[in-house]
Structures are given as structure tokens and as C-alpha cells.
Amino acid sequence: MNFRIRAAQREDCRDISRMIMELAVFEKMAEQATLSHEDLERDGFCTNPLFECLVAEVPEEDDPKVGYKLVGYALYFYTYSTWKGRCVYVEDLYVMPEFRGKGIGKGLISKVAQVGKERLCARLQLSVLDWNTSSLNFYVAKGAQDLTAAEGWHFLRFDGGALDKLANEAPKD
């Protein structure tokens, strides 16, 4: 199958938003996906973008019944390790189901790795739901280490009321 991986552009945000919702439905967490395409435009296509994104596009003549030119995306941002320095974190990697198994996912993750290496990143990191064995196996087959098993790390989050409570406990200026 012919496809091309390229940097996302502002006008891609509607399709990226559509695919984010498709991923949220797949992950059984659709109610948590509240970001709009306007939010993506504001946060990713501004003076100091909070994320970068790659998209996978296919020629429309390859599958006109789908009706989409963009069939996958990888959304990522940069972090910093006090042990290793610059890192790239892949928040989402998604390929529409009818386009899986055609090298698009591999193309997206490889391109993020290439961008990370060009930016002198020491690591590429991501998380996978424990029940998503096909994705976990895909990344492990590419050389990823499962740090939960290997090193015992836990990925934690504060949000909603817990984030509010923690912020309210900050020392006063």
C-alpha cells in the first residue's frame, strides 16, 4: 500500500481529532476524550507548541470508500530525564483498523524515533494499556523494554479533584 508520513499541519486537526476519538473508543475510554480540534490547533500550532504530530496519509484513489486521506497519526512531545537528558514521549500512535498491518504504524513510530534522534533525544517512551497485547507485542518486537516488568516502574497521574487539591496545597508566594 502506498502511504506517506509527514508533519501534521493546522488543517489536519479535524482528522486528528476524529482519530483521537476512534482511539478513545478502542481503549474503552471515549468519555474521557474531551479535546476539540480547536484545542489541538491552539496547542500544537502556536509560537511554542506543546506537542508535535505526524500523520499518515494514503492517496484517496487507494481506498475511496473510506473517505479519509489521513489514516493514522503519532502525537508526541519532549520530556527531560535527569539521568539521560532529552527524551521524546509518544502520547498516541493510531492507525485506522482497515489500514493496520500495512507498515503504517511501523512507519509512524520509526519516524518519531528519527525525529527524536535528530533532536538528540536519548529515549523514546510511551505507555500501553495492560490488555492491549497486540500493541505491547508490536513495540516489544521493535525493541522496546517493558519497564513495568523489567524495573517495576508505575505510571501515575493526578487529575480532576486530585489535581485541584494538590495545586491548592502549594506554598503561597
What is the spatial distance between Cα 100 and Cα 104, in angstroms, rounded to a whole number?
Answer: 7
Torsion angle defined by CA atoms of residues 102, 57, 47 and 170, in that order, rounded to the nearest 10 degrees:
-40
What is the spatial distance between Cα 62 and Cα 18, in angstroms, rounded to a whole number?
Answer: 20
The one catalytic residue in 73, 76, 89, 139 is 139
123, β-bridge pairs: 87
Sheet holding 70-81: strands in order across?
Answer: 4-7, 52-57, 70-81, 85-95, 123-126
Q: Where are the beta strands (DSSP E) in the chain?
A: 4-7, 52-57, 70-81, 85-95, 123-126
139 is an active site residue: yes
Question: Is the Cβ–Cβ distance between 30 and 21 less than 8 Å?
Answer: yes
Q: What are the catalytic residues?
A: 139
